[in-house]
A and B are shown apart, each in its own frame.
Chain A
């Protein structure tokens, strides 16, 4: 049995039963799951967690679902890697990468969708749906296949090929909408009122969003039950960033780690940085923007959790940081060439932001810093292929190989001169 008790409006505090609903009827504020923390404190120890499976289901007691309904394709418990090479390049001596590319559909979205799909099954829905910038579409399609549910996924029509193929392969009905993500989201909100489907990021949102807390739990456990000194995470709607913080806070509340002194820094693309811009202007009033960036998975101009992200940034003493498209590509290449991790554009945003914060002295060189890489670069190859060296093209002879190698060495020397 889950320790979830009810839903509560984050704005006005009104409580609601655990139903497929995401909005307060009185003030339109977002609903959030309320837990029985006393009971959790009595039942959860480090040992009960460590005995669990190597997936997010080791934290089942922290999630608003009953495990017998689990729709499980083994999300989570991804590697936390000590990034010595990248750290040396950036002047950081205690840098770690949380590599969430290593999920079943190659992004952190499997964490939220496994929770949303489980809750949808528990509610008795037969159809999963979502509005997505691509990664969510992939994950919803895969989980629906696993659970034997139908899936309708709505995406902006200009998405990268890898994200389109990576949804349709699972048999989902893919709907490409001529518009940006904010348009798709508006349409889906209206559809959710008409169709009795589990829209994971709309009527399932309070449950779905809780899955991201596991990114906080896992990192703390993998560090030997402690919170990092500094976190750098990507921000689109701001939900992931806020939930990492919530995850760390919950561990402290349940005495599973000591107090949380983590500075939470959030990274956006300069071409879509409404949260960072608000932070720079010292306001919590987020002005929506029209996205213009290669980081399509972060291209949300109207961030639903922007207000709460700004509160976390302020409370934790973290920073907002934005990078332009050229810096994002450099960030992707830097991570790949230094640590062997091929991240999508959102990862480039994080690494570019991390580099900037380190350069400006906003991250101290000895701080235990964790950068969250949330999706795989194989899905966004279009963004980077023109910035990479082309293969040496040869005949199957040694002479041809050595000729090509000589030309490449000359080109490299000229480029370096």
Chain B
């Protein structure tokens, strides 16, 4: 089972769960799985076209999925998925 870490702004939707397990084969399937359990969460993460929203960063084992296969990134049994809002820094 992959582990999905839920950031604070989404925990109202997950009844305060900080992590959720998923046996999905890809990130897209994992998000659909989250939506089935916690309705409303998908529209927070994805835009109308089904892609990841501009200000949402998703990492699989610390790697930005935009360096992988975006929303179609494959998920394996021990993968850790992080959902992180964009953050400022530097200049």
Interface residues of A (CB under 8 A from B): 11, 22-30, 108, 130-133, 136, 179, 181-183, 185-186, 188-190, 192-193, 201-202, 205, 208-209, 233-237, 239-241, 285, 287-288, 290, 297-300, 302-305, 307, 346, 374
- Which residues of chain B come closer than 8 Å to A136, judged between CB atoms? 89-90
- Do B55 and A29 touch (CB < 8 A)? yes
Q: List 19 A-B contacts (CB under 8 A).
A: A23-B55, A28-B56, A30-B88, A185-B87, A186-B57, A190-B5, A202-B87, A205-B88, A233-B91, A234-B91, A235-B91, A236-B91, A239-B88, A290-B67, A297-B91, A298-B90, A298-B91, A302-B64, A303-B90
A201 to chain B, nearest CB (A): 5
- Which residues of chain B come closer than 8 Å to A285, judged between CB atoms? 54
Considering only residues 41-82 of chain B, those with a C-beta below 8 Å from chain A are: 44-45, 53-57, 59, 62, 64, 66-67, 82
- Do B87 and A131 touch (CB < 8 A)? yes
Distance in angstroms between the alpha carbons of A131 and B66 in the assembled complex: 22
Distance in angstroms between the alpha carbons of A27 and B42 in the assembled complex: 10
- Do A28 and B87 touch (CB < 8 A)? no
A228 to chain B, nearest CB (A): 18
Instruction: Apart from A28-B85, A183-B62, A236-B91, list 20 A-B contacts with CB within 8 A.
Output: A11-B55, A23-B9, A30-B55, A185-B87, A186-B62, A190-B5, A190-B7, A192-B8, A201-B87, A205-B87, A208-B88, A209-B88, A233-B91, A239-B88, A239-B89, A241-B91, A285-B54, A304-B55, A304-B87, A346-B91
From B62, B67, B85, residue with most partner A Cβ within 10 Å:
B85
Contact count band on B: 20 to 34
- Do A236 and B90 touch (CB < 8 A)? yes
B28 to chain A, nearest CB (A): 18
Closest residue on chain A to residue B13 by CB atoms: A25
Closest residue on chain A to residue B89 by CB atoms: A201
- Do B44 and A288 touch (CB < 8 A)? no
Distance in angstroms between the alpha carbons of A327 and B24 in the assembled complex: 48
Contacts A28-B9, A28-B53, A307-B54: A288 and B64 contacting too (C-beta < 8 A)?
A: yes
Cross-interface CB contact of B88 among A179, A287, A304, cutoff 8 Å: A304
- Do B87 and A374 touch (CB < 8 A)? no
Closest residue on chain A to residue B90 by CB atoms: A236
- Do B89 and A181 touch (CB < 8 A)? yes
B84 sits at the interface (CB 8 A): yes
- Which residues of chain A come closer than 8 Å to B5, judged between CB atoms? 190
Distance in angstroms between the alpha carbons of A207 and B86 in the assembled complex: 16
- Which residues of chain A come closer than 8 Å to B18, judged between CB atoms? 193
Distance in angstroms between the alpha carbons of A150 and B63 in the assembled complex: 31
Distance in angstroms between the alpha carbons of A299 and B90 in the assembled complex: 8
- Do B55 and A27 touch (CB < 8 A)? yes
From B5, B67, B82, B87, residue with most partner A Cβ within 10 Å:
B87
- Which residues of chain B come closer than 8 Å to A179, judged between CB atoms? 62
Cross-interface CB contact of A288 among B9, B66, B91, cutoff 8 Å: B66
Cross-interface CB contact of A189 among B53, B66, B85, cutoff 8 Å: B85
Q: What 5 A-B pairs have minimum CB-CB distances, sorted nearest first?
A: A236-B90, A304-B86, A23-B85, A193-B8, A236-B91
Distance in angstroms between the alpha carbons of A267 and B67 in the assembled complex: 24
Cross-interface CB contact of A193 among B7, B45, B67, B88, cutoff 8 Å: B7
Closest residue on chain A to residue B55 by CB atoms: A28
From B44, B57, B66, B90, residue with most partner A Cβ within 10 Å:
B90
Closest residue on chain B to residue A234 by CB atoms: B91
Closest residue on chain A to residue B40 by CB atoms: A26
Distance in angstroms between the alpha carbons of A131 and B12 in the assembled complex: 26
From B5, B8, B53, residue with most partner A Cβ within 10 Å:
B8
Distance in angstroms between the alpha carbons of A326 and B59 in the assembled complex: 33
- Which residues of chain B come closer than 8 Å to A205, judged between CB atoms? 87-88
- Which residues of chain B come closer than 8 Å to A346, judged between CB atoms? 91
- Which residues of chain B come closer than 8 Å to A287, judged between CB atoms? 66
- Do B82 and A181 touch (CB < 8 A)? no
- Which residues of chain B come closer than 8 Å to A133, judged between CB atoms? 89-90
- Which residues of chain B come closer than 8 Å to A307, judged between CB atoms? 54
- Do B89 and A132 touch (CB < 8 A)? yes
B55 to chain A, nearest CB (A): 4
Distance in angstroms between the alpha carbons of A5 and B54 in the assembled complex: 27
B11 to chain A, nearest CB (A): 8
Contacts A28-B9, A239-B91: A288 and B67 contacting too (C-beta < 8 A)?
A: yes
